[in-house]
Amino acid sequence: MPTAPPAARAAAALLVNALLWGLCWLPFRALQEQGVHGLWATALVYAAVGAGVLAWDPAVAQRLARTPSLWPLLLASGITNACFNWAVTIGDVVRVVLLFYLMPAWAALFARLVLGEPLRLAVVLRVAIAIAGAAVVLKPPGAPWPMPSAPSDWLAIVGGMSFAMTNVMLRRETAQQESTLAFTMFVGGCAVAGTLAAVLTAVGGIAMPPLPAPGWVAGILGLVLMLGVGNLCLQYGASRLPANVTSVVLLSEVLFAALSAVLIGGESVSARTLAGGALILVAALLAVRDAR
C-alpha cells in the first residue's frame, strides 16, 4: 500500500492541529457548565502539560529562570491563552476567532517596534485591510462607530495582540531549545490564567472550581490530550513545510471553529460577519504571501 509523501503527512498534521484548536471551545464550555471557569480550566490544563515537559526535561525550569529574555514570552503567551480561552467560553465563537486573527496586523507593528523591521507599503496595506475587516465585524446595526460591544470582543482583540507579540518573541529567541520555549509558554498559560482566576475569585467575580468530579476531571484530561497532540502535530508539520505554507494551513482553524459553532453550537453567522471575516482573512493571506 503506497504511503503519503512527507509534505502531505506534514500538511495533514497541521490540519489536525488546526482542527483541535478550532474545536477547543467545546470542552471549555462543557467545563464552564460544570462550574469550572475557563480561567481555572486554562490554569489546570497548562499546569499539567507544563509538568509533563518538566518531567521529560528536568533542567528546563532552570534554563527559564536563568534567561530573563524569555520572561516577556512567558507573559505574552500567558495573556494569549487566558484571553482566547475565556473569550470562546463566553462569546460568539466565530466572532471571537475572527477578531483574534487580526494577529498579522499587530505582528507587523510589534515587529517594527521590537525587531526593527520596516513598515513597507505592503505591510501598511494589509494592516489597513485587517482593521477594516474588524470594523465591519464590530459595527452594530445603526451605530455610528464600530467598537467592541462585549467582554469577549475585548478578550479576543487583546488575545490576538498578545499572540502577535508571542510570535515576535519566538522569532527573537530562536537560539533557545524547543523544550525551553514550550515550557515557557505553558508556564505562562498557567501563571497568567491562574493569577487572574485567583484575583477574580477573591473579589467574587467567579467561583472556585467544585470538588473533583469524574465529569470535569475528564474534561481537563481531554484538553490536556488535545493540546498535547496539537503541539506534537504543529512541531511535526511546521518543521517540514515552508513557513508560508504552514501559515495558510493553520488558517483552516477559522473554518473549523466556524463550522463547529454553527453545526454544534447553533450559532448563526451574519452577512456583516462574513464580509468582515473575509477582509481579515485576506489580510492574513497577504501576510503569508509577503513572508515568501
Question: pLDDT tens across 93-145, in order?
Answer: 888 888 887 777 787 777 778 777 777 777 778 778 878 887 777 776 666 66
* Per-residue pLDDT band at 155 (split at 50, 70, 90): very high
Q: How confident is the model at residue 2 (pLDDT cuts 50, 70, 90)?
A: low
pLDDT at 251 over 80: no
Q: Report d(CA 288, CA 281) in Å as an integer.
A: 10
Q: Do 248 and 288 form a contact (C-beta atoms < 8 A)?
A: yes
At 239 the pLDDT is 63
- Output the pLDDT for position 86: 93
Cα 93 from Cα 150, distance rounded (Å): 13
pTM recorded for the entire structure: 0.84
208-216, long-range: CB < 8 A, 24+ apart: 208/40, 209/35, 209/36, 209/37, 209/40, 209/44, 210/34, 210/35, 210/36, 213/34, 215/34, 216/31, 216/34, 216/35, 216/36
CA–CA gap between residue 129 and residue 47 (Å, rounded): 38
273 has a pLDDT exceeding 70:
yes
